[in-house]
Structure 1
Amino acid sequence: MPHAPSYYAATARPQPLRPALADRLDVDVCIVGAGYTGLSAGLHLAEAGFSVAIIEAERVGWGASGRNGGQIVNSYSRDIDVIEARYGTDTARALGDMAFEGARIIRERVASYAIDCDLKAGGVFAAITARQFGHLQRQKALWERHGYTRLQLLDRAETRGIVASDRYHGALLDLGGGHIHPLNLALGEAAAFESLGGRIFEASPAIRIERSFRPVVHTPGGAVTASFVIVAGNAYLGALVPELAARSMPCGSQIVATEPLGALADTLLPHDYCIEDCNYLLDYYRLSADKRLLFGGGVVYGARDPARVEAIIVPRLLKTFPQLANVRIDYAWTGNFLLTLSRMPQMGRLDHNIYYSQGCSGHGITFTHLAGRLLAEVLQGQAERFDAFARLPHLPFPGGRLLRVPFTALGGWYYDLRDRLGI
């Protein structure tokens, strides 16, 4: 199946058409899913000398890894203070020590393998209300207590110099954040993995995992026997592993790309930083390399494709940038991310030799790259950092698969109302 009709697919670097698995293969590690989690784990393992095969139902980066907003955002969907309140000081310290590692891994990969993905530095959290700005002040102090010092608070006037919108009370600039062309990052990581002897099979969905001393992953055309299996399908895993599906819910997010804006783009975002606001159902946006505005937001619980993405996103875009009222929309697309009840990522073991990572809950670009490193570590006998996440409770959604969508949508409506009322 071709990639989604996105700006990223239209501007992606050339990629080979990789074969489907058509025979039986024996490797050290079989990875299910050629998105960021699978590619990151595969690259770390190939660098360590493992023989690795990745099987992908569609194409490299076909899911969230090739469709997302392209923003490098540090920490997790629930920040370190929430982690400490829920799970204790030791867990908060362990996860806090890793909260900024994913962004560093991305930059290391781009530099080491010369990946051309339009990497830019700088990300901004924009506060719409004074209450949100107070949260950003506390976030800065929190991150600095964990050793992260690349943050600057911006008042209303300084924020207006960063983004040409009158919506914001203030902002927090993270110089360690940034943005990328996400599909080109995935394609570059796939090429790096293959340069080390790794093998990727496209159009090869996993249809069954045979759990045994050496597990076997079956596809329609073949099978992979391995010492270890990593399940990295995230929001596109389907029903392959029912116990994982019960603990998570795919959700849709939508993005539009304008026509190239030329000099107007430099007036909107003169420093070329990416922006996300502080609402519960947040908006996020940035410029592309060819000066389009990429603007995303909204959540469709249960991952139904909306009839018209523009109808959801363009009103939000114009609320931020009314000066773009007459600008043409060239691309509009949707993609799924995987939500957990706790909003924390889930990592763990399905068996002593089958591992998984899923449910980044909107912070996938950085966490997936960290997850790949942790999965590689645990397969090499270093389990401490992996287990810091694996020990977190992985809660099922109340009401099961039938009621998880309406219950979560009701919660989303409540928090959206709070955002609208500024409380």
Structure 2
Amino acid sequence: MSSAYIDTYYSRTVSTSEAYPAATGRIEADVCIVGGGLAGLTAALKLARGGRKVVLLEEQRVAWGASGRNGGFVSAGYATGLSSIERRVGKDQARELFHLSMEGVEIVRRTIDELGIADAKLVPGIAKALRYNSRGALQAACESQQRAFGLNLRYLGRDEVRSLFVSPKYHEAILDKGAFHFHPLNYGRALAREAVRLRAAVHENSAATTVTLDGARKIVRTKDAEISAQHVVFTTGGYTGTISPALRRAFLPIATYVMLTENAPELVQSAIRTRAAILDDRRAGDYYRLVDDGNRILWGGRITTRTADPRDIAALLRREMVTTYPQLASLKTEIAWSGLMSYARHLMPQIGQLKPGVWYCTAFGGHGMNTTAIGGTVIAEGITGESDRYRLFSPFGLAWNGGILGRAAAQITYWGYQAADAAREFRSR
């Protein structure tokens, strides 16, 4: 029997109940994918569409980790900004990478449309809101991105922002009308169903225990199976174990937290009067959106280098919500949960080839919905020879994560971001 999803808003509202059998016996494949999150599922579906024999191994359930319990935001960009990417690779390659991130958004949107995934509950619009007066900088940035990339953006001044988000905290915002938010677990499960329909083999409760990656045929073993494949793809994210030491050393597992409020439509809509999701522009900020037809708020934020008790985090997240919207002081929290994301120190996805026939596609923390889609796509293209676009990510390789010191540095950096954000907000009062 398959292990259960953890208790989240998404697992409570998942719309289908199919499970996939554990892998058993000796299995021959063209490609073995280790990890059943959105990157692995995207790659599996594309490869299956191309006629490849695919075996996907998932330790728990399809989209069990960060892929199925995140905020559900889908927009262009990466966890680091365009200027940081330009400093590393130059303007031309940075533009190519940004265009790939835009393509990732469209891959998700197109897949929802083509497969008729109504239970993905796509809702258009994400607003990036500022808690300070940028004195024209935000509007200039909006116009610059429109010119450079053709993004469907609209600048919102203070009066319009505060009519939509009834809070004294916000000064201005950019509404990205081409972005959207959705139900990631239902989406991930739909990818698995379609891949299986196209004869891919998806196996839950099938942790990879050992691998042999030398030679023309690679061997991946589980408790009860041995898979022989020409290609192996690691898409394991924040839950990567010892199966791939090179990957585990190259990212930081970072915990993030989400809560769901009680059903209280009038109270909720007294504060938030838009179906667009809100992304707080603070580097240590919050993200939130209405769910259940506007009756509840799904509120995320906070990161730590350890997984704290979600009950304690729920109190912190609720405090953030009430500080932002005092009128929600009586709104109760119904459930809270956490999950591990994988972050590389350079804050870019890690997408590439370890050696011939051995691929990796991970480190999507902070901007995973579009980047998992494009990551899985370009890895599949590399395997089939359709393109070598995965090489655009080669400057952002498997740099050492710093070990324990890396985790401490990440936590201290986050606290520093919180202090800087608070100081900037104070100056705008």
Instruction: Please give the range of the TM-score, normalised by the shorter of the 2 chains.
Output: over 0.9
**1:349 is matched with which residue?**
353
**2:280 is matched with which residue?**
277
Q: How far apart in 2 are the matches of 1:371 and 1:301? A: 25
One-letter amino acid of the structure 1 residue matched with residue 369 of structure 2: I
Structure 2 residue 224 is matched with structure 1 residue 213: no
| 1:19-74 deviation digits (Å, cap 9, x = unpaired) | 11111111111111111001111111111111111100000110001110111121
Q: How far apart in 1 are the matches of 2:403 and 2:100? A: 32
**1:130 is matched with which residue?**
133
Q: How far apart in 2 are the matches of 1:136 and 1:50? A: 46
**1:98 is matched with which residue?**
100
**1:295 is matched with which residue?**
299
In structure 2, which of residues 405, 408, 414 is the aligned counterpart of residue 406 of structure 1? Answer: 408
How far off its partner does 1:336 sit? Answer: 1.1
| 1:351-386 deviation digits (Å, cap 9, x = unpaired) | 110101111231001110111111111111134311
Contact 1:128 1:168 in 2 (8 A): yes
Alpha-carbon RMSD across the aligned residues, in angstroms, is 1.7
Contact 1:75 1:99 in 2 (8 A): yes
Structure 2 residue 327 is matched with structure 1 residue 319: no
Contact 1:261 1:293 in 2 (8 A): no
Contact 2:351 2:397 in 1 (8 A): no
Structure 1 gap segments, 5+ residues each: none
Q: How far apart in 2 are the matches of 1:88 and 1:303? A: 37
**2:76 is matched with which residue?**
74
**1:308 is matched with which residue?**
312
**2:381 is matched with which residue?**
377
Q: How far apart in 2 are the matches of 1:216 and 1:326? A: 56
Q: How far apart in 2 are the matches of 1:208 and 1:98? A: 33
SS of equivalent to 2:84: helix
Contact 1:215 1:228 in 2 (8 A): yes
TM-score, normalisation: structure 2: 0.94
Q: How far apart in 1 are the matches of 2:43 and 2:192? A: 11
Q: How far apart in 2 are the matches of 1:156 and 1:119? A: 27
Contact 1:119 1:178 in 2 (8 A): yes
In structure 2, which of residues 389, 396, 404 is the aligned counterpart of residue 392 of structure 1? Answer: 396
In structure 1, which of residues 333, 356, 362 is the aligned counterpart of residue 337 of structure 2? Answer: 333
Query: Relative to structure 1, is the Cα distance of residues 238 and 305 closer, same or farther in structure 2, using a 3 angstrom cutoff?
Result: farther
One-letter amino acid of the structure 2 residue matched with residue 361 of structure 1: G
Q: How far apart in 2 are the matches of 1:15 and 1:155? A: 45
SS of equivalent to 1:294: strand
**2:265 is matched with which residue?**
262
**1:148 is matched with which residue?**
150
Q: How far apart in 2 are the matches of 1:358 and 1:141? A: 32
Contact 1:72 1:103 in 2 (8 A): yes
Query: Relative to structure 1, is the Cα distance of residues 407 and 147 closer, same or farther in structure 2, using a 3 angstrom cutoff?
Result: closer
Q: How far apart in 1 are the matches of 2:258 and 2:418? A: 19
Query: Relative to structure 1, is the Cα distance of residues 135 and 194 closer, same or farther in structure 2, using a 3 angstrom cutoff?
Result: farther
Q: How far apart in 2 are the matches of 1:220 and 1:136? A: 54
Q: How far apart in 2 are the matches of 1:62 and 1:361? A: 15
How far off its partner does 1:17 sit? Answer: 2.1
Query: Relative to structure 1, is the Cα distance of residues 86 and 305 closer, same or farther in structure 2, using a 3 angstrom cutoff?
Result: farther
Question: Identity over aligned residues, as a percent?
Answer: 32
How far off its partner does 1:304 sit? Answer: 4.9
Q: How far apart in 1 are the matches of 2:309 and 2:380? A: 34
How far off its partner does 1:418 sit? Answer: 0.5
Which deviates more, 305-314 or 27-36? 305-314
One-letter amino acid of the structure 2 residue matched with residue 80 of structure 1: L
Contact 2:267 2:331 in 1 (8 A): no
How far off its partner does 1:85 sit? Answer: 1.9
Q: How far apart in 2 are the matches of 1:149 and 1:59? A: 35
| 1:97-155 deviation digits (Å, cap 9, x = unpaired) | 21211111111111111112111000000001124x75533542442243223000101
Contact 2:270 2:327 in 1 (8 A): no
One-letter amino acid of the structure 2 residue matched with residue 154 of structure 1: L
SS of equivalent to 1:268: coil
One-letter amino acid of the structure 1 residue matched with residue 338 of structure 2: T
Contact 2:352 2:379 in 1 (8 A): no
Instruction: Note the 1:98-117 alignment, pairs <5 A.
Output: 98-115=100-117, 116-117=119-120
